[in-house]
Amino acid sequence: MRLKLVSLLIILSGLSACSTTEKPTKNSDNFSNSANALKNQATSAESIYLLAQNRQGADKIQLLYSARDAAITEQNWSLLEQIGSELELTASVDQIQNRLYIAFAQKQQNKNDQALVILQSLDGQLTQPEHFAWHQFLTASIYASQNFPKKAAPYFFRASETATKNNMEIPQLNQSLWDNLKQLSSYALERFNRGTVIQQGWVNLALYQQVYANSGVELDQAINNWRRRYVGHPARSILPKQDEALTELTPINIERLVVMFPQSGPNERLGDALKAGVLAALDKQNINETIFIDENLSTEEIAAQLEQIKPDFVVGPLLKVNIDKLANAKTLIDTPALHLNTFDGDRVSLQHYFFALNPEHEVEQALEHFLAMGYQKPMLLAPNNANGQRLVDYFNLQWQRYSQTKPQIGFYDDKKDMPNTITSLLEVDKSKERIKTVKALFRQEVENETRSRGDIDVIYILGDAIETRLIKPFLDVNVSTFSDRIPLYASSKSHSKQIDRTDKGDLDGLYFTELPWMINSQIKQQDLREQYNSLWSDQADISQRLFAMAYDAVSVLHDIRQLSVMPSSQFSGLSGKLSVNSSGHIERTLDWAQYSNRRIKPVQLKTQRPVPLFMQTASEIQTIN
């Protein structure tokens, strides 16, 4: 029990980062230094807490954070609850995180009923995955400690799914979940054998342990079958280690490959671009037979063809509606597959992977660079449509996981609306009003120059190539000459090989993310690019990007199993550096490039994986603020 508690404390001691104090002014910074000096003289959580009682504002909150960290280290649960109750009275504190602290302190004092009341009060408010995972884990732990394994199980499953999907480490989660499952009868386990593939993996492993408990040979065989079916499952951490690496790292041997693209209907052109990429990649792969199937066939027709072909692997479909169709029918449940789009439903097999040219990858890459550079006040410009709204919402949601500041957002309806959106966000319109007022007072010409707001430190454009070429000059004109030049960034949507042939003007200095295949100087397979250009010199940008994706989809198959169990590993492809996250989705790291003197040059920009607020320490929050 002691070891379990210590492991839990290691990560709980970082929860202080969820506290959201106001950004301190220069005076409060000096005051914080004074409080830090006093805190360093304190010898215990209690003494730090007493110091906090004689302080005010942000200084007091920072001391309370430090006292809270010390209380966890000292296992002083009554003081931890007291500190949380005091912080609850402060409006600037993240109340969701703080209430999780209070519930944890109460749980440790066996005040389970009070802790459950707090946890239940947070239902529907848990937007951050770290908050949700810990909420579910704490709730499950309380029920498990009260000997209610059936009540605890759904909460354990949701904690495991959230932690897996978001690459989170929660000490003792897997072991606690496993210990809880061992308390259930086979009948109860069967009733839980549904839902997500993560849940089913846990339940099936527990069932194997019960059914084959008295037969070592059959149990070994069942577990080996489980490993092949549930590659990368979090339950592997509680299995014997000796054969796990050999089982999970063995490359998939593909003799017969099935590829599903739209070969009819309105998306046939996209299917043609993908097919070209697959055929180009097959020249360098040791695959004996490849069969193409129209993904627009009925589920029954596809199932009949697959039954006859018996493929080792399936690539496709492309369209989400067809991925959903096959998932609902469980047509591919026993066949490894790489779908060429994202998937919002429950993954039906851990042998299923998902690959898409997802713009969210670029948004996250830009966000990580902004945080690495210390930018605190980004401004986003996006079209006022569904795609623009989605990407801005995604940026906002991710930004809130790492920073306490709020981005400035500007949506434009069309090119006529762009100037108003930009001048309003930069507050140039207010500057012009002030100039107008001064001129009216003096009733003569006054030398003047408009000023833009000075707190924006980076601008991110999410428009397409045409929109970006209209926005960039507006920004150049409206940023005050008295201010430092604001760095400008954009996504790959801003870049078009077709438009760049005749127009690179007005983009000087703009950074953007892009597939290596779309930047001439970054292409390692120049012979392939030359051959492509000779065959399809006028291909649209989307067709060129789909070609690169399809080429990588076939090329990565040999390594995909290893990538799925080694998240830090990457595959260098035409569409970027590829890795596989714990939910089976391929993530891309694109190249950075910059417009400079009417040319595009590759650049290396600083980036690093940010630490979520939930995992930062009190001192790290001070640094960020």
pLDDT digits (tens, 9 = 90+) for 473-512: 888 776 644 456 789 999 999 999 888 776 666 788 999 9
Least confident of 215-229, 308-322, 353-367: 215-229
Helix/strand/coil percent split, the chain, to 5: 55, 10, 35
Q: Which residue has the higher pLDDT, 523 or 323?
A: 323
Q: Computed over its alpha carbons, how large is the radius of gyration of the chain?
A: 28
Please state the three-class secondary structure of 231-272 as a single string: CCCHHHHHCCCCCHHHHHHCCCCCCEEEEEECCCCCCHHHHH
Beta-bridged to residue 314, according to DSSP, are: 258, 337
| 40 has a pLDDT exceeding 70 | no
Q: Are strands 599-603 and 591-596 parallel, antiparallel or unpaired?
A: antiparallel
- Alpha-carbon distance of 449 to 435, in angstroms, equals 8
pLDDT in tens, 316-332: 999 999 999 999 999 99
Rounded distance between C-alpha atoms, residue 592 and residue 598, angstroms: 16
Report how far apart, in Å, the C-alpha atoms of 458 and of each of 118, 384, 451, 463, 600 are.
Answer: 39, 20, 17, 16, 21
DSSP-derived secondary structure for 111-147: -HHHHHHHHHHTTT---SHHHHHHHHHHHHHHHHHTT
Quote the pLDDT of residue 28: 33
**Taking a C-beta distance cutoff of 8 angstroms, is the pair 103, 138 a contact?**
yes
Global pTM?
0.70
Question: Which DSSP symbol is given to 521?
Answer: G
Task: Name the average pLDDT for the chain.
Answer: 83
Rounded to an integer, what distance in angstroms lies between the CA atom of residue 579 and that of residue 573?
A: 11
Q: Which of 411-425, 459-473, 526-540 has the lowest mean pLDDT?
A: 411-425
Integer CA distances (angstroms), 31 to 28, 36, 63, in order? 5, 9, 12
Residue 470 has pLDDT above 70, yes or no: yes
3-state secondary structure 224-236: HHHHHHCCCCHHH
- For 395, how many CA atoms within 13 A lie in the half-sphere containing its CB? 32
Facing residues of 589 across strands?
A: 577
The share of the chain scoring above pLDDT 90, in percent, equals 48
Give the 3-state secondary structure of residue 32.
helix
Distance of CA 613 to the CA centre of its chain: 14
Q: Which tens digit of pLDDT belongs to each residue from 99-127?
A: 999 999 999 898 999 999 999 999 888 88
Local confidence band at 54 (pLDDT 50, 70, 90 cut-offs): confident
pLDDT (tens digit, 9 = 90+) per residue, 588-599? 999 999 998 888
Enclosing H/E stretch for 386: helix 386-402
Residue type, position 584, single letter: G
Half-sphere exposure at residue 227, Cβ-oriented, CA atoms within 13 angstroms:
22
pLDDT at 251 exceeding the cut of 80 = no
Report residue 6's pLDDT band, with 50, 70 and 90 as the boundaries. very low
Task: Kindly report which listed range (157-166, 365-374, 464-473, 606-615) carries the lowest average pLDDT score.
Answer: 606-615
Q: pLDDT class for 287, splitting at 50, 70, 90? A: very high
pLDDT value at 427 more than 60? yes
CA distance 133 to 164: 10
Report DSSP letters for 539-569, one per residue: --HHHHHHHHHHHHHHHTGGGHHHHHH-TT-
Is the model more confident about 205 or about 442?
205
Give the rounded percent of residues in the chain with a pLDDT score beyond 70.
Answer: 83
The pLDDT confidence band at residue 417, using thresholds 50, 70 and 90, is: confident
